[in-house]
A and B are shown apart, each in its own frame.
Chain A
Amino acid sequence: MAPALLVLLGVLAYPIGASLLLGFQDATIAGGGVTSEWIGLGNYERMLSDPTFAIALRNSLYFTFVEVIAVVIISLAVALLLNHLGNRSGFFVVILLIPWALAPVANAVLWKWIYNANYGILNTVLLQLGLIDQKVVWLGDPFLALNMMLIADSWKAVPFITLLLLAGLQNVPSQLYRAARVDGASTWARFRHVTLPGLRVPILVAVVLQSIWALKVFDLVFVLTKGGPMDGTVVLNFLAWRVTFNFLDLGYGAAIANVLFGIMFILALIYVRALDPDRKRRRPAAE
């Protein structure tokens, strides 16, 4: 147990603690090294008046909220289809895994070309279908670019969540469906009263995991837009990187990263609780 704890302390606790401490300092790279001065909550107060931080927070929350809903709904639909196929779903599962297997940067480059205003296949297909009459600059408007990034990230996220929900579907006892059919329940009634309750935990796990992954998106922003146009696609993770490595403002960058860590920590607690909701009940009672 002790060696494992040491590793955890070194790999996890030390960097997290160092980042928390750095967030309370005005630290920069100057004078031949890192200079720092304790400023307490100064960096966090600065966030309150930093318009770019407000944009990043808004974008991160929007991105996370919309992506979680989209990914869970799409994944549930795909999982239901695959479950319906039963033993014939193997080929489709393999195809489904391809987006998930792509490296994040490769995924970003792929979508960069799809969205290219001049040569992108998206414009080509839509023009040929007559759905648009001139090429669209998909990444030229901040809100549109943010939503196009959502599509790119959701495409990559759906496979894993689908498999998660598929595993959950396969754990729903088939006798419940038979009993429901015998009682005359419609397809929708069976979905609502048998399938969904049986998927409560997997859906909660999917929501929490996908929220964490959506919050920490970076590669897409870096490759597709570099936070533009007009800082319109800046998210918290990207802003933390930019402040730290572009501006060399280590303290403020750490503070932004700490805010992101705090949000994800809360989500992680929910995740742990969702995995084992009966943990509290099993604790031995005090004698």
Chain B
Amino acid sequence: MTKRRLYIPTGFSRRSFLKRSGAAAAGLAAASMMPAWASALAQDKTTLRALVPAAPDPTPPGVPNATFSAETNAAFDAWQAANNAVVAYEDVPWPQLHDKMAANFASGVHTHDVVYMSGWVPEFADFLVPFVDDLPSGLVSDLPASSFSTVTWDGRKMGVVFTLSLLTTFYNQAMFDAEGIGAPPKDWAELLGIAEQLTKDGKYGWVLNYGETAGIGGVATYWFVFLQQAGGHLYDQNGQPDFNNEAGVDSLQMMMDLMPFTDPGSITYVGINDATNVFSAGNAAMMLNWPFMWLPANDPESSAIAGQVGAALNPAGPAGSASIDGTDAYTITQTAPDPELARKLIEFYLDPAVQKSQSIDTGWLPIRLSVLNDPEVQEKSANAKVVLEQAQYPYDSYVTPDFTEVTIAISTEIQKALTGQQDAATTIANMTDQVSAIVARRG
């Protein structure tokens, strides 16, 4: 019997394959750069390059797949025409943003004029332009003064937050009603009690993505919420760790006490979407979540509990309620050839009409106080009032140049506590040592 061999077509060799692959790659690379070149050259316009997250994370008007209204898109086109500019977006999935901008900044090559940031302004402050003082005073006065805390480093305001994105408590009203629970938890004791009561029949009282360790939205930043509710803070006035105390231990203990009533998969959920999927499927009663999740949580196409979602102030700890800021901001790079035009683009993003459209069409709340209080915004985004009220309480995200390293170190220790491998006091002590070592290298 003749044995079959692998068939290789004639004329195909390693050399011909390498040649063809190289030509194809070069062609693709050239084609990918064509739109910006062609547009700018053909129309003799200035090209503004912007690095932004891909939808559903906050995208500005003009980004493919962004869900802004036709009026807003038309206004964006009109802005480009009026400023003789073409805005070329590079929208990437949120988890890839930090790596991309780190590589871009390290290269020293001009790649973008406007860059989205989320907790990274202190880290990349040396690559950014402090432009906030050049913004119109009417605009600045319409922004919460506290919103500049996360984009200010070394006394320089390097960016402007464009959405009020604070963690609040989302809850399943139907699960509450079924158990006769009349209102969301007001404090830690009620949170524990309700979570326990609703944990049964394969459903859980609480869910969060404790698998993510880095940056905003990681397990460390969830602990920041409880830490501030306990009256604690991460650093003292000298920038040294200041949480090896009762507030630090109590806040971590609270998270540990919630674990028996927390979806056990939480330790494996590396993205907020993983946890939100459980919540939206009706398998968990409560979670901390960002305001933008309000729309999809109430969308029948993506949620099994549409119309049954409630938003509430985060339960108060010994010192009251607290939250953290998503710190979504726009910045201008030092390599931008026309920083003034880049600033004007950011002013467009902060225009009241665009901010209103951002809220109503995309679910990302506005940062302008006048727009936040607009009745139409509050009607469409029923959680806007809750977020506004949450903003009356502390929401420090403790961003520093080594924010990612600090949060990874803290998160890894917290995971050990949440899985029962060490107690709260030991965990807090370990965290203090590791953060101290990082701060020492900060210099």
Residues of A within 8 A of B (CB): 29-34, 86-87, 89-90, 115-118, 135, 137-140, 145, 163, 167, 170, 224-231, 242, 245-248, 250
Listed residue (A89, A226, A247) with the most chain B CB atoms within 10 angstroms of its CB: A226
Which residues of B sit under 8 angstroms from A228, Cβ to Cβ?
A: 211, 213, 267, 270, 412, 415
Chain B contacts to A: CB under 8 angstroms: 1, 3-6, 98-99, 102-103, 105-106, 108, 123-124, 126-127, 211-214, 263-265, 267-268, 270, 278, 281, 283, 334, 402, 404-405, 408, 412, 415-416, 419, 421
A246 touches B404 (CB 8 A): yes
12 inter-chain pairs at a CB distance below 8 angstroms, sorted by A residue, are: A34-B108, A116-B265, A118-B281, A135-B264, A138-B268, A140-B268, A140-B419, A225-B268, A228-B415, A230-B419, A242-B408, A247-B405
Docked-complex contact B270 and A86, CB < 8 angstroms: no
**Contact call B415/A230, Cβ cutoff below 8 A:** yes
**B1 contact from A86, A167, A227, Cβ within 8 A:** A86
Given contacts A33-B106, A139-B211, 7 further A-B contacts (CB under 8 A): A31-B126, A32-B127, A34-B108, A87-B4, A228-B211, A228-B412, A247-B405
* Min CB gap B424→A, angstroms: 16
Query: In the bound complex, do residue B211 and residue A246 qualify as a contact, i.e. CB atoms below 8 Å apart?
Result: no
Closest to B443 in A: A30
- Smallest CB separation, B81 vs chain A (Å): 34
A contact residues around B270 at 8 Å (CB)? 224-226, 228
Are B334 and A230 within 8 A (Cβ)? no
> Within 8 Å CB of B415, what residues of A?
228-230
Q: How far is the CA of A216 from the CA of B99 in the complex (A)?
A: 19
Q: List, in ascending order, chain B residues with CB within 8 A of A225's CB.
A: 211, 268, 270
| Residue contact A118 to B3, C-beta cutoff 8 Å | no
Q: Is A34's CB under 8 angstroms from B106's CB?
A: yes
Within 8 Å CB of A90, what residues of B?
Answer: 4
A244 CB to closest chain B CB (Å) equals 8
Q: Report if A229-B408 is in contact (Cβ < 8 Å); known contacts: A32-B127, A116-B265, A250-B106.
A: no
In the assembled complex, the Cα of A248 lies from the Cα of B400 at a distance in Å of: 13
Task: Write out the residue numbers on chain A whose beta carbons fall within 8 Å of the beta carbon of B268.
Answer: 115, 117, 137-140, 145, 225, 229
Find out whether the CB atom of B106 lies under 8 angstroms from the CB atom of A29.
Answer: yes
Cα A89 to Cα B416 with chains together (Å): 50
Instruction: Give the distance in Å from the alpha carbon of A36 to the alpha carbon of B17 in the complex.
Output: 40
| Contact partners of B98 in chain A: CB under 8 A | 245-246
A137-B126 CB under 8 A given contacts A34-B106, A230-B415, A230-B416: no
Bound CA–CA A248/B103 (angstroms): 9
Interface centre among A137, A170, A229 (most CB of B within 10 A): A229
Closest A residue by C-beta to B264 = A137
A170 near B3 with CB under 8 A, answer yes
CA distance A224 to B416 in the complex (A): 18
Known contacts A87-B1, A116-B265, A170-B5; decide if A226 and B214 are in contact (CB<8 Å). yes
Give the docked Cα–Cα distance between A185 and B256 (Å).
65
Bound: A231/B263 CA distance, A: 21
Task: Give complex CA distance A32, B128 in Å.
Answer: 9
* Residue among A34, A226, A242 making CB contact with B211, cutoff 8 Å: A226
A49 to chain B, nearest CB (A): 12
A87 to B270 Cα, complex, angstroms: 46
Which chain A residue has the least Cβ–Cβ distance from B270? A226
| Contact between A86 and B3, CB atoms less than 8 A apart | yes
Chain B residues positioned under 8 Å from A138 (CB to CB):
268
Q: Which of B103, B213, B214 has the most CB of A within 10 A?
A: B213
B123 near A248: Cβ-Cβ < 8 Å: yes
Q: Is the CB of A137 within 8 A of B265?
A: yes
| Shortest distance from the beta carbon of A79 to any chain B beta carbon, whole Å | 13
Docked Cα-Cα span, A180 to B124, in Å, equals 71
B6 partner residues in chain A, CB cutoff 8 A: 163, 167
| Distance A140 CA – B209 CA, assembled complex (angstroms) | 12
